[in-house]
A = this chain, B = another copy of it.
């Protein structure tokens, strides 16, 4: 079917969203529903696989095929689907607890295998559905229901983890920045293997304002470092700041005037070596100051589902289509009269 045939409405199910008013999930839902018609895949060829959490409800609101799985296992559920049905367009939606706490292992394995799934990680740095315990992305010292004296666990940096897990496409965007979110989704959709997008998502009930530095009118221009492949990395209200590389592999933020434009680091998302992307992911430990958003890495590597199909095709080429009677009668057999 041609793209033009579908509208946002075609991707909108008849179930009324049940998130808290003001929840960042609404904005993400609206963006995803709007962008889907542009991606050229029909709703019936699209599947959303979600984990458990507020974010997990997402699957019910898309008028596509969908599975709401069990907590943390969406990447595995999606892997099974994507490898058996490479013709489908498979998306995963998971919260930070779902994807990084209970589901951390499936996530990293899906990434290293390069399974053709697009993973939307709704990172609100909190457990929403279970009413506000800290998550693996919450900051040290956070006071929550389960940590009345402050959390002690050093958090993950989800993108650094993904890069350590050999991810081929790694990006970050923000719930309320529809344009950026949409662009990022499109790039992920076009990526042939596993793509992970960390979406900063505001949970206005249990962790309001976690991303204010990047979303508030007054601060967002100062803090959003927008990565563009092939461009020097600079940012600020007047693009007055930039990023340079140090001799120890780390990156620093500098005033462009201090170093000169030519010394700015040029972003290259297509490097085979993930080190630069990793350094960028580590430029901001928490989204409270200047923080890169955009596509950190996008490289090509054999896609898992495709590779399985290729093995099947080559086995069929070599051995012919499997015939059950031949199989059962293979090897030594004898007759009893």
Residues in B whose Cβ lies below 8 Å from that of A154: 112-114, 166, 301-302
On chain B, the residues within 8 Å of A112 by CB distance are 136, 153-156
CA–CA, A275 and B159, complex, Å: 13
| Residue in B101, B103, B152, B282 whose beta carbon sits within 8 Å of that of A273 in the complex | B282
A84 within 8 A of partner (CB): no
Q: Are A273 and B250 in contact (CB under 8 A)?
A: yes
Residue of B nearest to A193 (CB): B154
Chain B proximity of A125: nearest CB distance (Å): 14
The listed residue (B104, B156, B282, B302) touching A274 by CB distance below 8 A is B282
**Which stretch in A30-38, A41-49, A241-249 binds the other chain?**
A241-249
Residues of B within 8 A of A250 (CB): 271, 273, 275-276
Contacts of A278 in B (CB 8 A): 163-164, 249, 274-275, 278-279
Contacts of A274 in B (CB 8 A): 160, 278, 282
Report chain B residues within 8 Å CB of A14. Answer: none
Is residue A304 contacting chain B, with contact meaning CB distance below 8 A? yes
Query: In this assembly, does A105 line the interface, its C-beta being within 8 Å of a C-beta of chain B?
Result: yes
Is A315 on the interface with B (CB-CB < 8 A)? yes
Given A154-B114, A165-B164, the answer on whether A273 and B301 have CB atoms closer than 8 Å is no
Q: What total of chain A residues lie within 8 Å of the partner, measured CB to CB?
A: 51
Instruction: State the number of copies, please.
Output: 2
Asked if A161 is at the interface (CB within 8 A of a chain B CB), the reply is yes
A153 vs B108: C-alpha distance when bound (angstroms): 12
Q: Is A326 an interface residue (CB 8 A)?
A: no
Q: Select from chain B the residue with minimum beta-carbon distance to A168.
A: B154
The smallest C-beta distance from A102 to any residue of chain B, in angstroms, reads: 8
Q: Name the interface residues of A217-251: CB closer than 8 Å to any CB of B.
A: 245, 247-251
- What are 19 sample pairs from A and B whose C-beta atoms fall under 8 A apart? A108-B108, A149-B311, A152-B302, A152-B307, A152-B308, A155-B166, A157-B166, A160-B163, A160-B166, A160-B274, A161-B165, A164-B278, A248-B268, A248-B276, A249-B249, A249-B275, A249-B278, A273-B279, A275-B278
Additional A-B contact list (13), CB under 8 Å, known A153-B304, A164-B278, A248-B273:
A104-B105, A104-B109, A108-B108, A152-B302, A154-B301, A156-B166, A160-B274, A161-B165, A245-B247, A248-B271, A275-B275, A275-B278, A278-B279
Q: Which 10 A-B pairs have the closest CB atoms?
A: A164-B164, A249-B276, A250-B273, A105-B105, A275-B279, A249-B275, A104-B105, A152-B307, A161-B164, A160-B164
